[in-house]
A and B are shown apart, each in its own frame.
Chain A
Amino acid sequence: MLEIKNLHARIGEKEILRGVNLVVPDGEIHAIMGPNGAGKSTLSYVLSGRDGYEVTEGEAIYNGQNVLEMEPEVRAAAGIFLAFQYPVELTGVGNANFLRTALNAIRRKRGEAELDAVAFLKLARAAAKTLQMKEDFLKRNVNVGFSGGEKKRNEMLQMALLQPGLAILDETDSGLDIDALKIVAEGVNALRSPKFSALVITHYQRLLDHIVPDVVHVLAGGRIVRSGSKELALELEAHGYAGLEAA
């Protein structure tokens, strides 16, 4: 379970998060929507441990541990996964090599045996097939020369292999056509289980047709200003965010 209590964070002098309170129980998928500049990406970066964001108050407890005190790689081992809005290119680093290095680093930290190349490839090929990715995906350099849709699918492939307990999807739907969107949604839905939870950050309701959330939150002005069932997303789609910030 993820519990965020009164989280304040800033970049430089600018306060972006101003007291976020949020509980995501295991097994649930929560959507976070909100206008530009509301702090959606900041929330995902703060939770995954990116440099440059200063937490001034509050805490984020995941499975009993305050994740805000952990290095990013320790958070990854604890089961937190961030699907990037803009996945990063790594020239010269093969996708399979990257994935195997990551998976084995996490397995080591969890006290599990590392996978050899053969076992890993078997696993990776199966996951790639589920996501309808061509096999040469694994041979290409990480995200180098990938289309927007391919990059997002690659994020889903990583997620499928690393098997996180909590996935944070930062506008994973941006830049996707409808077919790619469905594939990404299937990737998330495939992980659904009583032990898996997700925070799906999105601008648009359409992703939520495919990843049906248990709860929808509206983040505006650095706070959660409304929470509700999946119908809230439809309402926002119809009426916009105007007026919510003051609420």
Chain B
Amino acid sequence: MSATTENTVHEMAAQKYKYGFTTDIAMEEFPKGLNEDIVRLISAKKSEPAWMLDWRLKAFAMWQKMEEPHWARIHHPPIDYDDLYYYAAPSAPAPKSLDEVDPSLLDMYEKLGIPLNERAALAGVAVDAVFDSVSVATTFRETLSKAGVIFCPISEAVREHPELVREYLGSVVPVADNYFAALNSAVFSDGSFVYIPKGVRCPMELSTYFRINAKNTGQFERTLIIAAEGASVSYLEGCTAPMRDENQLHAAVVELVALDEAKIKYSTVQNWYPGDADGKGGIYNFVTKRGACRGRNSKISWTQVETGSAITWKYPSCILQGDGSVGEFYSVAVTNNFQQADTGTKMIHLGKNTSSTIISKGISAGHSNNTYRGLVKIMPGASGARNFTQCDSLLIGDQCGAHTVPYIESRNMSAKVEHEATTSKIAEDQLFYCRSRGLSQEDAVGLIVNGFCKDVLKELPMEFAVEAQKLLSVSLEGSVG
């Protein structure tokens, strides 16, 4: 590559993370460190009932006895859990309506392309905006409540809909499921709660936009989505963070429950700050996401486009309990520079004639490492269960790594499990072919990568598929040459 191209590529790489700004706003932070008092403070701050505090304290006690997991193919210096803030929120009193939201926050979301003003908002998409530890605004609540849909910050749900929260919280991801889930259970501060009542098709796309702003602060959001019998909902989450030299911790838990004939589609466009080109800074993204297909013929579909974070550790999974239930996992994970991703899914087949599909596309560039880790488990009762898995890895350059770690466990003779895997490189001849037709090197990479990911991108809600395509190209800028 000529010197001029190389320069442009470097310039592009330098400006590529456009969400890296910080917002100046008066904040209330709890003292650094984690102990029972902090847990009590968070609970008190949210005016939680006693049962919720007990739940948190139990989780905290369990977490203290647990150890950080080290089985994933990721490396990071030890995390000092006592050097973090566990609660940070704008200090102004919680706004009662959009009109009361601090204008500088509205500006910030505007800048991120998420206008919270309902007139300006993307038609057909309701947004819950979570800023550090709290939800700052939820749009279209009235429209939704007319349909009987509950879409609110989870802290509000704990107070307003305790019967639902008590029944389902921790029912899919138990408190002591893993180290980060236990930590989240103790200190989660906000996140979204969704309840779609029986027979209701949610009239809009629901979406939560997570923003980490404060320094040295962990974000521990908790999302709980319940689709009652015959209900359906499509939910999308997006995430960004400022560019900071320190690593920031994000440990979320997402639980989905689908009852008989219910459908939940959960899409993620994860664009946390990935760190700079030398691997400095970036978010540690340790997330537990799991859906339970409790009901007959229920369906849970995870679609994720992961381009951000210094480290990604997440395995959105499905427990296929109801007979005939369906689990899907469509994933694109991109790593560039020094990013590390260890991601995949678990499909646990319990019910008869359950089926699951896993399509994973891993793209590694720079010095990054990208691992697919997946489990397909067919339990003895899951007669007629079927799984199809396809894992494709694309390497760009020769300093990166792609790893595939599939576990398949079948305890039922009638089950059918298929696994296909490929690893390929963006070939020099593909790039040259595109360039000889007039495409720039960057456009050529974008075209080839988007082609590679097409099977996954087509699963995203249309409004976001275009965004995701652009994001892929931006994430890989400067990766060839």
Contact = CB atoms under 8 A, between A and B. Distances in A.
Task: Judge: A and B partners, yes or no.
Answer: yes
Interface of A: 48-52, 71-73, 75-77, 81-82, 84, 87-88, 90-93, 97-98, 101-103, 105-106, 109, 141, 158, 162
Which 10 pairs across A and B sit closest by C-beta, in order of nearness? A92-B451, A93-B451, A76-B438, A102-B437, A106-B438, A72-B435, A88-B433, A92-B454, A105-B438, A73-B435
Contacts, number: 80
A102 B451 contact: no
Nearest to B5: A71
Contacts of B429: 88
Given A73-B440, A103-B438, 13 more contacts: A48-B436, A71-B2, A72-B435, A72-B436, A76-B438, A81-B436, A82-B436, A88-B430, A92-B455, A93-B450, A101-B443, A102-B438, A105-B443
B439 A102 contact: yes
Given A72-B432, A101-B443, A92 B438 contact: no
Contact of B436 (A49, A52, A90, A103): A49
A73 B437 CA distance: 7
A81 B436 CA distance: 7
B447 interface: yes
Interface string B398-441: 00000000000000000000000000000111101111111111
A44 B76 CA distance: 49
A48 B437 CA distance: 10
Contacts of A109: 438
Contacts of B430: 88, 90
Interface of B: 1-2, 5, 427-430, 432-441, 443, 447-448, 450-455
Given A92-B451, A92-B453, A162 B432 contact: no
Contacts of B452: 91-92
A48 B450 CA distance: 25
A82 B437 CA distance: 8
Contacts of A105: 437-440, 443
A98 B440 contact: no
A75 B439 CA distance: 11
B187 to A, nearest CB: 42
21 contacts: A49-B435, A49-B436, A72-B432, A73-B435, A73-B438, A73-B441, A75-B436, A76-B436, A76-B438, A82-B436, A88-B427, A88-B430, A88-B433, A90-B434, A90-B451, A91-B451, A92-B451, A93-B448, A102-B439, A105-B443, A106-B438
A51 B435 CA distance: 11
- Most-contacted residue by chain B among A73, A81, A87, A97 (CB, 10 A): A73
Contacts of A98: 434, 437, 447
Nearest to B361: A92
A72 B432 CA distance: 8
A50 B448 CA distance: 18
Contacts of A76: 435-438
- Most-contacted residue by chain B among A49, A97, A105 (CB, 10 A): A105
- Most-contacted residue by chain A among B436, B439, B440, B455 (CB, 10 A): B436
Contacts of A101: 439, 443, 447
B433 A90 contact: yes
Contacts of B2: 71
Contacts of A52: 428
B439 A87 contact: no
- Dominant secondary structure of chain B at its interface with chain A: helix
A50 B438 contact: no
Contact of B433 (A71, A87, A92, A106): A87
B156 to A, nearest CB: 43
Contacts of B1: 51
A206 B339 CA distance: 55
B432 A51 contact: yes
A190 to B, nearest CB: 19
Contacts of B447: 90, 93, 97-98, 101
A75 B441 CA distance: 13
A90 B432 CA distance: 12
Contacts of B448: 90, 93
- Most-contacted residue by chain B among A49, A72, A93, A105 (CB, 10 A): A72
Contacts of A92: 450-455
A90 B439 CA distance: 14
Nearest to B429: A88
A82 B435 CA distance: 11
A162 B438 contact: yes
Nearest to B447: A93
A34 B448 CA distance: 35
Contacts of A49: 432, 435-436
A87 B430 CA distance: 9
A101 to B, nearest CB: 6
Contacts of A84: 433
A92 B436 CA distance: 19
A141 B439 CA distance: 17
Contacts of B453: 92
- Most-contacted residue by chain A among B427, B429, B455 (CB, 10 A): B429
Contacts of B450: 92-93
Nearest to A72: B435
A131 to B, nearest CB: 17
Contacts of A77: 438
Nearest to B457: A92
